[in-house]
Chains A and B, each alone.
Chain A
Amino acid sequence: MKIECTLNGQRKTLDVSSTRRLLDILREDFHLTAVKEGCGEGECGACMVLMDGKAVNACLIPAGNLMGKEIVTPEGFKESPRGKIIEEALIEAGAVQCGFCTPGFVMAIESLLNEHPHPTEENIREGLSGNLCRCTGYQMIFKSVRLAEEKGAGLW
């Protein structure tokens, strides 16, 4: 199936099987390996990307559902002002250990702050409820959201 979509700001025409997962298209066809496969079932958030500005699990999306969509991966988001703030905040809060979950959390934090520029504790927990981290115990990640909120005031 021929699929027209936008990937990290560039228009692409994919010629792929319609059942191929976005996760595999990104990692294998485009070598965009920030997205990870943790569970492959929508439960860990390691594969998260932005689709039309909202966080989604790339392991659950078949190519056929990409028609006309705008996809941003952690690589594409990284250099943006918000991306830089979130990266700084995660580092400063000590929220990165092995780093496997981190790209997914970056996407989830962006989506969260987009919806709630001044999130409550409940908003933060809810917004990050789709991401698992086996190293940090989450507290530092919650803290990084607060840091990003402060440092990036006005950006969201």
Chain B
Amino acid sequence: MVNGYHPKDLIEALKIRAEVSCIPLAGGTDLMVQNARGTGLSPNFDKPLLFVGHLPELRHIEKKEGFLHIGPSVLLSEMLSHPFIPETFKKAISQMASPPTRNLATLGGNICNASPAGDTLPFLYAMDAELILENHAFDRRIPIEEFICGPKQTELKSDELLTDILIPTTLFPVSYYKKVGQRRGMSLTKVSFHGLAEIVDGYVEDLRMAFGSVAPTVVRSRDCENSLIGEPVSTLKSRFNEIWELYEPSIQPIDDARSTATYRKNVCYNILKDFLTHLENIKEIYNE
């Protein structure tokens, strides 16, 4: 049996995708570990692999018509050194894995792996990022929130590939990123949070808040965000408990090997409070 396809371009890749049931592999940093069989052994896959990491059509970073377009096979390390990638997104990426793993891991892989702990996801959700999915005949555009439907579950069809990631080029003057985890170099996020805001004359003009690792998918409470838009930032401190009550139901963490649900919920409370009650003063904060 053929156990791998190495297409020369996207057209060939999509043709293979249409004809054979296969697993796309970009950097392999998730797939090689998830399918590992132990010391000295090749990992085992139940379908042939379709290598997509090298495809030139999936390796762009460009700005076009109000969107930053990032090819899914762009490496995390390439994003870190590219001038078009927003600083606050780089902060999240620079805390993922270790430099050698970031020289292999891709943005598309992090999205399609659809882990609730995927560290690029809170930013992409907060920015209302959209994805282009293509098969040999058509392409469709879908918000990231609709693409990811649960842990390891996406709307990707068996003949499709993710071919583009679109991030609106809107700039947020206030940005805040926090990841709580263990040793760097390991994929052990307990809670991550990306907050973005625009404050004009002391009033909240726009506000985005997204939590990772606290529910089956990234959590963004639009009700809560909308209820705060137009409000004076100075009152958020005194109203925090009321705000938390609005946010809290969407935070449904689990007990797992990395942490307990109670711990995660406490961390969310503290992070949200830190972000909202310091909004007046925050320009760009980032903590380990």
A interface, CB within 8 angstroms of B: 1, 17-21, 24, 27-28, 37, 40-43, 45, 48, 51, 54-57, 59-65, 67-68, 108, 111-112, 126-127, 129-131
- A93–B43 Cα gap in the complex (Å)? 38
26 A-B residue pairs with CB within 8 Å: A19-B3, A21-B32, A28-B40, A40-B38, A43-B186, A54-B100, A56-B100, A59-B32, A60-B28, A61-B32, A62-B28, A62-B49, A64-B4, A64-B6, A64-B51, A65-B25, A65-B28, A65-B51, A67-B6, A67-B54, A68-B54, A108-B100, A126-B99, A129-B185, A130-B98, A130-B101
The answer to whether B42 and A129 have CB atoms under 8 Å apart is no
Give which listed residue, B3, B28, B40, contacts A17 with CB less than 8 A. B3
| Chain A nearest CB, measured from B169 CB (Å) | 28
Q: How many A-B residue contacts, CB cutoff 8 Å?
A: 113
The answer to whether A55 and B103 have CB atoms under 8 Å apart is yes
| Chain A nearest CB, measured from B115 CB (Å) | 15
Q: List the B side residues contacting A68 at CB < 8 Å.
A: 54
- A17–B48 Cα gap in the complex (Å)? 11
- A58–B49 Cα gap in the complex (Å)? 18
Chain A residue at smallest Cβ distance from B48: A18
Give which listed residue, A57, A60, A67, A129, contacts B184 with CB less than 8 A. A129
Chain B residue at smallest Cβ distance from A18: B4
- Asked if B104 lies at the interface with its beta carbon under 8 angstroms from chain A, I say yes
Give which listed residue, A37, A65, A129, contacts B40 with CB less than 8 A. A37
B interface, CB within 8 angstroms of A: 3-4, 6, 25, 27-29, 32-33, 36, 38-45, 49, 51, 53-54, 77, 97-101, 103-104, 184-186
Interface of A is mostly: mixed
The answer to whether B33 and A45 have CB atoms under 8 Å apart is no
Q: List the A side residues contacting B103 at CB < 8 Å.
A: 51, 54-56
Q: List the B side residues contacting A129 at CB < 8 Å.
A: 98-99, 184-185
The answer to whether B36 and A54 have CB atoms under 8 Å apart is no
Q: List the A side residues contacting B3 at CB < 8 Å.
A: 1, 17-19
The answer to whether A41 and B6 have CB atoms under 8 Å apart is no
The answer to whether B4 and A1 have CB atoms under 8 Å apart is yes
Q: A62-B28, A62-B32, A67-B54 are in contact. Are A57 and B104 (CB under 8 A)?
A: yes
- A43–B6 Cα gap in the complex (Å)? 27
Q: List the B side residues contacting A54 at CB < 8 Å.
A: 77, 100, 103
Q: List the B side residues contacting A17 at CB < 8 Å.
A: 3-4, 42
- A108–B100 Cα gap in the complex (Å)? 8
Chain A residue at smallest Cβ distance from B33: A41
Give which listed residue, A19, A40, A43, contacts B185 with CB less than 8 A. A43
Q: A41-B36, A45-B100, A65-B53 are in contact. Are A21 and B42 (CB under 8 A)?
A: yes
